[in-house]
Structure 1
């Protein structure tokens, strides 16, 4: 987080505060969230989370076929893992990671009267949820939305706590494109999902599908891929499974917390034995005992993000089905910039959701947080190879200003259609 000080040659729309994320370079996650690599299927997620030897379970959003890449998916999977520990007769469980999967597992174990310690590498809890102050307001620079709201256990916690919730209608963006008016994107997306040859690798299938379209249809389809797939799965087409077309993203009555996700996370961590600054590099689960760092137990629930999971040493090695599952799962690249201004100078979207279609893609999604947080604030999202194009060789201030430029281009394109 930083503040920008006006200069004599500054532009009119200069942010007064900003934050740029670098989740892909964070050693404790190495990416945003899990996604399906070529050949990957939801079955690989389930296989990764199987109970091993009655002593070890890998858990988290990467293991949840029903809600992958979502915070409540991590929470639910932590509880699934805790139930496996209970059924195995565990007496002392080592939980690795104090993100929502680890908190879900440890809370459930504690409720069952089972001794449990949580080892967290960072000096904070929450994992890929992280609320911080930007000027006078709280913003989430990691996960921000309570997705699949009706089936979201964390949403029920927020409601019980009486926290303020604000809905976002992702189905109605105020959209603009750099090459003229844009329409038909949603219809193009559904047509692609129905018409693509799923027997082919995704990139090849898309190429053949586009080649058969009229230019206007191909343009709308390319924008649909940028806005409905790449920004969700967070990798280029050549690195994605065709099954990625069917994994749910945003758009299920999603709500966010103007006061930050930390309100829920801090509540869920109350009363737990969490040891901060305890990164795990080796999990010894041979024999009847599990050893992690200086801790000993008879069961381990490992909830580290997939990017970190692939770097851990397991003794003995993970069985082949779990190694195969990891080979078919990867970490997507998604970054966020939050910009704050003295005034809202961009067109107001009725839903607070903005889309910017450019070639090549850059900052595809924007969320206007102004009305919810009471200060002109927007959050922009960028994914896959666009991150390298926009971030490489730039410091955070330069990245923030480049994002501002994209927002200005979007605003000009919208105003041209009014």
Structure 2
């Protein structure tokens, strides 16, 4: 990876910036809130377990507890498990030993079966619930085992697995094609300037294993303020009330897509899977159709009201004429009688009849006059309150597109490629708490994990051979193709990104012998792998902590808006096609660094454009918002191209229209030599990475947990079951006491 002036990004051991020229640094005014491990239930929650129930994996490893009708047995197990987790989480910088646990078990479990305690301890250690990360070893280094493992890829999954396996006594070699560790966790560092080029956000601390890591090494976690003002292409700030209104409409549309999928069970149109993007557009079209129908109803109502009013007026005119005629008839009849009561019965009957008819006409006239008033009022109301002639105005559509671009950023995918039914299948597993950034760079985590490991950098894997007898991994130097090497081992853990695996299907660079089974390659083909790019700009001082040069005065509920320190502000594109282009700007670090995000279709388009053009376009957006005189040229800049990166081929996985959460589980399954099955022979080829974690895909913690999972699986395969391991732990403790 290179900066704009072709200098290598140089990560340091703990991510400390070099001494630098005078620039404006921000103070840290937003410290994270760590979860409180005040009881055993909270310890289980923080470890992603249910406090009062065994997990599926626990039921597999402790069948006697799971199948027991004795409730006390399950209660004992759960207390031991939760208490061990609590002890670890309370002090994660020092190894938790079996000796530490027994004297700290509380009544009535202080006399618990020692073998059960030892087995639970061994289980939690093996599967990465305790004693993971960077902590002080209390016991001597584990006894060396005969197990040899080659881990392909020094990203978070590979490093986590390698560190775990090495702590189990295995001999581990990590092979990495890059000249650094971290994979898609890469941090730009130049003097005081820091910016994460790949993974950037810690998505909550409640339940997140990164919480433990952050207490073991120096991670400057900083809360991301969620206030995000939006600016139009011309630089004007979007009025807050319109922003809120369109965001509400976006959420309604999102709910409508869920109803369409899960309630109406609409999954395809014309035999083709329905994407989230297509469903959005269909619902928008239906809303536009409803607007037209409302207009027709309104015009029909106006016409109907007008016709009724016209008919009512005509009746009033007719009745008024009759009333006038009756009045004149009565007047003539009275005059013919000499102005007095007539003794002529015929005349008197005529007068009384006319008066009665006149009274009826007057009553009818009064009713019609009321109806006329009502119709006139209704007609005025209809004319003054016509329905909207469009569902979304052009500006509202632009604003809606911004929210859609934000959704594309979250998934690193064009919405037209996202599965309508399954795109958010992992939502139930989201962690609690604020989202945070690592101000000293997220790469401090893989760098810390790499310490003490045998990592072979700048070596690309060219062949993986696996059989019942073992495995061979052939590599080639990325600097000198004539330099090749072979690594013999018992098992191979492949943590290659999904994008690289997809490339292997299309144009193989790595030879698998035997070839990967069809069920594995089919899953690789079905899954989605997206792209997200960033423009990093380093300035001497921030100019973005104020409203735009074109801004109106601050709103009443934001008296200090011009002096607020902003983490985020958005740029609303002019067209749907360009909605992901520079749509969001981040200011997250102490030094004045701006990151502009490019998502969706725009992300792939940007990779075909030169750096100078992208930078000038980015500065043009900023100048439109803040004024040309206020936006200087950046001191340094860097533009990512993750799709073009041969060792990444994109950013992270998503659930495509052809896929579902099941494919993550398929990707996690190991491969047995020559089509073997579990139980017949040991698996030799294992898989880890965010694309193998159904519950936590597309995240650093997902990759980390997948590494722990596979380290546990490899240990289970080659180092013996938990009963033997638990007994060995107990024997070791007894031998030292």
TM-score if structure 1 supplies the norm length? Answer: 0.71
Q: Are 2:393 and 1:174 equivalent residues in the alignment? A: no
Distance 1:188 1:345 in 2: 32
Distance 2:286 2:219 in 1: 50
- The structure in which a higher percent of residues are helix is 2
Indicate the SS of the match to 2:215.
Answer: helix
Indicate the SS of the match to 1:205.
Answer: helix
Q: 1:14 matched to which residue of 2?
A: none
Q: Tell me which of 618, 640, 645 is aligned to 1:403.
A: 618
1:193–1:245 CA contact under 8 A, matched in 2:
no
Distance 1:176 1:161 in 2: 38
Q: Are 2:176 and 1:120 equivalent residues in the alignment? A: yes
Q: Which has the higher contact order (CA 8 A, sep 6+)?
A: 1
Q: Which moved more, 1:355-364 or 1:99-108?
A: 355-364
1:95–1:118 CA contact under 8 A, matched in 2:
yes
Q: Are 2:601 and 1:385 equivalent residues in the alignment? A: yes
Per-residue deviation, residues 27-68 of structure 1 (Å, max 9, x unmatched): xxxxxxxxxxxxxxxxxxxxxxxxxxxxxxxxxxxxxxxxxx
Mark the runs of 5 or more structure 1 residues left unpaired by the alignment: 5-16, 18-78, 83-88
1:131–1:262 CA contact under 8 A, matched in 2:
yes
| Cα displacement (A) at 1:324 | 2.1
Q: Which moved more, 1:316-325 or 1:212-221?
A: 212-221
Q: Tell me which of 270, 277, 280 is aligned to 2:461.
A: 280
Distance 2:209 2:622 in 1: 34
Distance 2:243 2:528 in 1: 32
Q: What is the total number of aligned residue pairs between the two structures?
A: 329
Q: Are 2:4 and 1:2 equivalent residues in the alignment? A: yes
Q: Are 2:531 and 1:353 equivalent residues in the alignment? A: no
Matches within 5 A, 1:11-410: 91-169=147-225, 171-178=226-233, 181=239, 182-184=242-244, 185-196=246-257, 197-198=260-261, 199-200=267-268, 201-202=274-275, 203-213=277-287, 214-216=391-393, 220-227=399-406, 229-242=407-420, 243-245=422-424, 247=426, 253-293=434-474, 294-310=486-502, 311=504, 312-348=510-546, 350-358=565-573, 359=575, 360-361=578-579, 362-369=581-588, 372-373=589-590, 375-394=591-610, 396-410=611-625
1:120–1:274 CA contact under 8 A, matched in 2:
yes
| Cα displacement (A) at 1:99 | 0.6
1:265 to 1:291, Cα distance in 2 relative to 1, 3 A = same
Distance 2:607 2:566 in 1: 29
1:346–1:408 CA contact under 8 A, matched in 2:
no
**Larger radius of gyration between Structure 1 and Structure 2:** 2
1:168–1:351 CA contact under 8 A, matched in 2:
no
1:2 to 1:223, Cα distance in 2 relative to 1, 3 A = closer
Indicate the SS of the match to 1:300.
Answer: strand
Distance 2:455 2:229 in 1: 43
Q: RMSD value over aligned CA atoms?
A: 3.1
Indicate the SS of the match to 2:496.
Answer: coil
2:545–2:566 CA contact under 8 A, matched in 1:
no
| Cα displacement (A) at 1:352 | 0.6
Mark the runs of 5 or more structure 2 residues left unpaired by the alignment: 7-22, 24-125, 130-144, 262-266, 269-273, 288-390, 475-485, 505-509, 547-563, 631-737
Indicate the SS of the match to 2:452.
Answer: coil
2:472–2:489 CA contact under 8 A, matched in 1:
yes
- The structure in which a higher percent of residues are strand is 1
1:119–1:276 CA contact under 8 A, matched in 2:
yes
| Cα displacement (A) at 1:325 | 1.5
Indicate the SS of the match to 2:179.
Answer: coil
Per-residue deviation, residues 169-209 of structure 1 (Å, max 9, x unmatched): 3x432222338545135423332222022224113312211
| Cα displacement (A) at 1:276 | 0.7
Distance 2:256 2:208 in 1: 32
2:207–2:432 CA contact under 8 A, matched in 1:
no
Q: Which moved more, 1:146-155 or 1:174-183?
A: 174-183
Distance 2:472 2:458 in 1: 17
Indicate the SS of the match to 2:206.
Answer: helix
| Cα displacement (A) at 1:118 | 0.6
1:387 to 1:250, Cα distance in 2 relative to 1, 3 A = farther
Distance 1:187 1:3 in 2: 44
